[in-house]
Amino acid sequence: MKKLVNAKSVFLYDTTLRDGTQRKGLSLSLEDKLKIARLLDDFGFHYIEGGWPGSNPKDFDFFTRVKNMRLHKSKVAAFGSTCRVGTKPSEDKNIACLLAAETPVVTIVGKSSKLHVEQILQTTLEENCRIIYESVTYLKRYVDEVIIDAEHFFDGFAADPDFTLKSIMAAVEADADWIVLCDTNGRSLPDQVSETVRSVIAKTGARVGVHTHNDSELAVANALAAVHAGARQVQGTINGYGERCGNANLVSVIPNLQLKMNMPCFEAEQLAKLTDLSRTVSEIANLQPDPYAPYVGAFAFAHKGGLHAAAVEKLSSSYEHIEPEVVGNSRQVVVSELSGRGNIRMLASSLGLSASADSSVVLQKVKDLESQGFQFENAEGTVELMLRRGDNQYRSPFELLDMKIVSMHREDDAGNAEAVVKLKVGGTIFHTAAEGNGPVSALDEAMRKALLPAYPELTHVRLVDYKVRILNPDQATSAVTRVTIEASDGNQNWLTVGCSGNIIEASYQALADSYELYLARTVSKKEEVVA
């Protein structure tokens, strides 16, 4: 029986590169897999499952390449299955591929459910035990560590515990290093998982791990229940990626174990890198990060209600289960018609602005404008401008005097809209015109012509998103329109909003706020440097 060095230690086994890639819409290149492996090693995961070398050339190439990466903290595991029914491990091509991967750890999946043994493998309990026992024994001759994933274990145990226990006892007797109990279909409930894990440990004395799926949205809860019952390895994926509804999300499992259950996994300084890890893997996988994800989501510590924000301003733990910085995240204060003055003060503080603007005046303006159709919780740039404009020393960098937009139909490739704007910039009036591919494009070009001579830094700003929302579609062409614009200078992004019965006017409001905010921030930075 394998003993743990520290009974409170939990070993994290990441299978993003294998089980995670079974998610629909997720495909990783070989280079992607190597990048993620490096991230996981830098973070300190105990195991990285690289793939199934016997299933495809890319996975086999991964193991060839990863050997030269000199990982410092993680053990790389190759994944496969037991030898086939009626064959010996020494004759099995899958087993040969596992050994050819030359990894220090090999994980094999074995059937443990009577239903799967008899109806899927179409064999007997005795033969199933043989292929498990002989596969583990054979692999143990060549690799340092052998893990067996007991597939469909919890379902099998609920239906026929004796049959299921006999299957995994074959691996125990073969001296497998870990017996990992799998909730393959994601059917189990935490109480069932906890009770089953305790029973298995008591009856087998094995060193047990757990592998849970999220079909009942309980993968993390079931993993924690297993650890509470004595399991000391947790298998899962970054961000819960995986087949169907996904796997246990290790990004949630880790802080729950470490901060809530006092089960050490990593050093505290590593935990502070968790948010960055989650978002970087999302980027490599070309998937949008979930802003509402626990612990690491952009909105995981967002406070919108005035009552909540007022309390958090006084004592953060009043409405936060942990300090967001512990996992590398940050607090976000949302400003809307539901806000109180505390939201305004906290937003100003988070932006590094002085409280010279009367929070009650700004709050009332927010409430008034939202009643007219504006929405500020996704357009903090406009709220920031309200705060800046509340400073008696603030001067707007430009002023609109007149604007005209002409839309045209042309058969050639030339612009189909023309904008004419008259802007007052400092003491100078600029009267400019420009064509564009649509009225907003033309308006943007005309404004740039007027502003760039005085503010050449605006060359760095570009519009990256433009969203239109019709607020009362029952009014047809008389409907009120809300426009949200996202802009970027390559280093930071900001969002501004406009609202009007005239879509061009709404677009101008959002566009002008976007430029004004950038200039206001630039001036502030210059003043800080001079000071």
| pLDDT at 379 exceeding the cut of 60 | yes
The chain-wide mean pLDDT, for the chain, equals 89
Q: What is the pLDDT of residue 7?
A: 63
What is the band of 528 on the pLDDT scale with cuts at 50, 70, 90? very low
Q: What is the pLDDT of residue 55?
A: 84
- Residue 18 — φ and ψ, nearest 5°? -120, -70
Q: What are the structure tokens assigned to 104, written together?
A: 């220090």
- pLDDT per position as a tens digit, 336-360: 667 677 777 777 777 777 655 577 7
Query: Residue 225 carries which side chain, given as an amino acid letter?
Result: A
- pLDDT per position as a tens digit, 389-446: 888 888 899 999 999 998 877 666 556 889 999 999 988 999 999 998 888 899 999 9
Angle in degrees, 0-180, between the axes of helices 341-350 and 359-371, rounded to the nearest 10:
110
Burial of 115 (0-12, 13-18, 19+ CB in 10 A): middle
Q: What is the pLDDT of residue 5?
A: 44
Q: What is the pLDDT of residue 221?
A: 98
Distance between CA 341 and CA 345 in Å, rounded?
Answer: 6
Q: Length of the chain, please?
A: 531
Stretch among 239-243, 300-304, 380-384 having the lowest mean pLDDT: 300-304
Q: What is the pLDDT of residue 344?
A: 72
Q: Render 320-383 in DSSP notation, one character per residue.
A: -SS-GGGGT---EE--STT--HHHHHHHHHHTT--TTS-HHHHHHHHHHHHHTT---TT-HHHH
What is the band of 485 on the pLDDT scale with cuts at 50, 70, 90? very high
Q: Which domains, ranges and CATH numbers included, belong to the chain?
A: 11-284 (3.20.20.70), 302-389 (no CATH), 398-454 (3.30.160.740), 461-531 (3.30.160.340)
| pLDDT at 203 exceeding the cut of 80 | yes
The proportion of the chain whose per-residue pLDDT surpasses 90, expressed as a percent, equals 68
**pTM for the structure as a whole:** 0.79
Q: Give CA 484 to chain center in angstroms.
A: 24
For 146-197, give the secondary structure using H, E and C.
Answer: EEEEEECHHHHHHHCHHHHHHHHHHHHHCCCCEEEEEECCCCCCHHHHHHHH
| pLDDT at 529 exceeding the cut of 50 | no
Distance between CA 445 and CA 437 in Å, rounded?
Answer: 10
Q: What is the pLDDT of residue 496?
A: 94
Distance between CA 124 and CA 163 in Å, rounded?
Answer: 10
- pLDDT per position as a tens digit, 97-139: 999 999 999 999 999 999 999 999 999 999 999 999 999 999 9
Mean pLDDT of 69-85: 95
Q: What is the pLDDT of residue 531?
A: 38
Burial of 299 (0-12, 13-18, 19+ CB in 10 A): middle
* Cβ-contact 267, 261 below 8 angstroms: no
Distance between CA 27 and CA 4 in Å, rounded?
Answer: 36
Q: What is the pLDDT of residue 530?
A: 37
Q: What are the structure tokens assigned to 344, written together?
A: 């305004």
Q: What is the DSSP letter of 3?
A: -
Q: Which residue has the tokens 């700003």?
A: 461
- For strands 428-436 and 417-425, give the pairing: antiparallel
* Percent of the chain that is helix, strand, coil (3-state, to 5): 45, 20, 35
- pLDDT per position as a tens digit, 168-182: 999 999 999 999 999
Mean pLDDT of 148-154: 97
| Cross-strand pairs, 234 | 12, 210
Q: What is the pLDDT of residue 317?
A: 81
Contacts within 8 Å (CB) and 24+ apart, 351-357: 351/384, 351/387, 353/384, 353/387, 353/388, 354/391, 356/390, 356/391, 356/392, 357/386, 357/387, 357/388, 357/389, 357/390, 357/391
78 or 417, which is more confident: 78
Mean pLDDT of 469-477: 74
Q: What are the structure tokens assigned to 452, written together?
A: 């760039």
- pLDDT per position as a tens digit, 30-47: 999 999 999 999 999 999
| pLDDT at 371 exceeding the cut of 90 | no
* Cβ-contact 215, 246 below 8 angstroms: no
Distance between CA 193 and CA 185 in Å, rounded?
Answer: 13
Distance between CA 93 and CA 418 in Å, rounded?
Answer: 68
* Cβ-contact 110, 171 below 8 angstroms: yes
